[in-house]
Amino acid sequence: MRPLVAVLLPVLALAGSARAAVLLDGIAAQVGNEVVLISDVREAAATTEARARAQGATDADIRQLYFEVLEQMIERALIRQVVQRAEIGATDADVDEAIAGIARENKISLDKLRESVEAQGMPYALYRERIRAEIEHARVINDLVASKTHVEDEELQELYDEELAKQPKGGDEFYLRVVVLTPTGEGEGARAVACSQLDEARARVAAGESFEVVAREVNQANPDSRGSQAWVHESEVAGWMRTTVESLPTGALSERIDTSFGCGLVQVIDRRSYVPLTFEQAKERLHRKLFEQRLAEEYKKLVERLRAQTYIERKGIFGDQGISRSSQAGDTGEPGF
């Protein structure tokens, strides 16, 4: 089975905002026997924060961004602890092999890959740790989640009847990868935050990172799809991206697409003339679709169990305000970070 990739954190950067720089460090959260420092959260959010502020994000928007980043870091800590207990950590040799594979996939040398990573503001050592986390996350899914995921033939027949009984008789279809980001709050500032994250995601893919890795991290619409929508008939391509899809060369990455609901990014992996599928022809794809849906459900259950079984305490402003209230906070004074 092809391993799934990790829930990655936003791109790490070296500098935060000028206002954040004066804050004394402290503990943002305790997760079991680990702590997440405020400086860790600030560093993880720095690139997105800088772009969001440049596009008019308010202090309330930035507060919400920090809360969301902290929740991602808490989940990462939970997975790290599972990795340690199960003794399935990735070695340096595993990381070297994975990075070499990324370089081969993108047809660039290791030196060029390193230059691309560092050009995005990320120290190469931190990039290696991101890859290590991705490998370990895949091992958790393969070892602890996939074994509980099953699909029966009867379910595949039902899905075929539901999805393919009324297949188009012809036309073209596209294999797409898509990222969609929508504002988490009201107003242009919230929209600016979402679109700045989309710009960051596009820059990472353009610099050589796997679209699937980036999409798995930031795709709000369907994160567990890793951005893949499989083959989509021309009649089913969403209106907001139809013109872009039809005009993009195979393999090309679109510019950011601004929509009424947020921002989107699309890549056309392949295109072909549509031929209606029999059940036997569609069976493997339908199995993969159901399997990945079930896998995502089981992973979510695993994370929920880990959260329930692990001592987690959000401290300071994170504990006092909470995520839901932070989104309603007024935009006055400093952001508190």
Q: Does residue 17 have a pLDDT over 60? A: no
Q: In angstroms, rounded to a whole number, what is the distance separating the alpha carbons of residues 90 and 27? A: 27
Alpha helices for 150-256 (secondary structure H): 153-164, 187-206, 211-218, 239-247
158 vs 327: which has the higher pLDDT:
158
In tens, the pLDDT along 213-244 reads 888 777 654 444 445 667 888 888 888 999 99
Looking at the chain, the domain(s) classified CATH 3.10.50.40 span 168-276
Looking at the chain, the domain(s) classified CATH 1.10.4030.10 span 18-148+308-326
Give the tokens for residue 225.
Answer: 């799809």
Average confidence (pLDDT) over 191-214? 88
Give the tokens for residue 73.
Answer: 């870091």
Average confidence (pLDDT) over 54-60? 87
pTM score of the predicted model: 0.56
Question: What type of residue sits at position 203?
Answer: A
- CATH of region 168-276, choose from 3.90.1150.10, 3.10.50.40, 2.60.40.10, 3.20.20.70: 3.10.50.40
Q: Which of 141, 125, 117, 121 is nearest to 92 (CA)?
A: 125
Give the tokens for residue 204.
Answer: 């990472």
Q: Does residue 70 have a pLDDT over 90? A: yes
Residue 12 is predicted with a pLDDT of: 29
Q: Does residue 333 have a pLDDT over 50? A: no
Q: Does residue 14 have a pLDDT over 50? A: no
Q: In angstroms, rounded to a whole number, what is the distance separating the alpha carbons of residues 206 and 117? A: 11
- CATH of region 18-148+308-326, choose from 1.10.4030.10, 1.10.3720.10, 3.40.50.12780, 3.40.50.2000: 1.10.4030.10
Q: In angstroms, rounded to a whole number, what is the distance separating the alpha carbons of residues 126 and 230? A: 32
Question: What type of residue sits at position 62?
Answer: I
Q: Which of 111, 41, 112 is nearest to 77 (CA)?
A: 41
**Cβ density class 244-264: b for 16+ within 10 Å, e for less:** bbeebeeeeebebbeeeebbb
Instruction: Please state, in angstroms and as integers, the Cα–Cα distance from residue 5 to each residue in 33, 124, 134, 213, following that order.
Output: 25, 20, 6, 6
Residues pairing with 174 in the sheet = 232, 271
Instruction: Please state, in angstroms and as integers, the Cα–Cα distance from residue 235 to each residue in 1, 20, 231, following that order.
Output: 31, 48, 12
Q: The tokens 């991290």 sit on which residue?
A: 217
Q: The tokens 């691309």 sit on which residue?
A: 116
Residue 82 is predicted with a pLDDT of: 93
Per-residue pLDDT band at 251 (split at 50, 70, 90): confident
Provide the mean pLDDT of the chain.
Answer: 81
Task: List strands edge to edge, sheet with 257-258.
Answer: 228-233, 172-181, 263-273, 257-258
In tens, the pLDDT along 143-155 reads 888 888 888 888 9
Helix (H) or strand (E) holding 36: strand 34-37
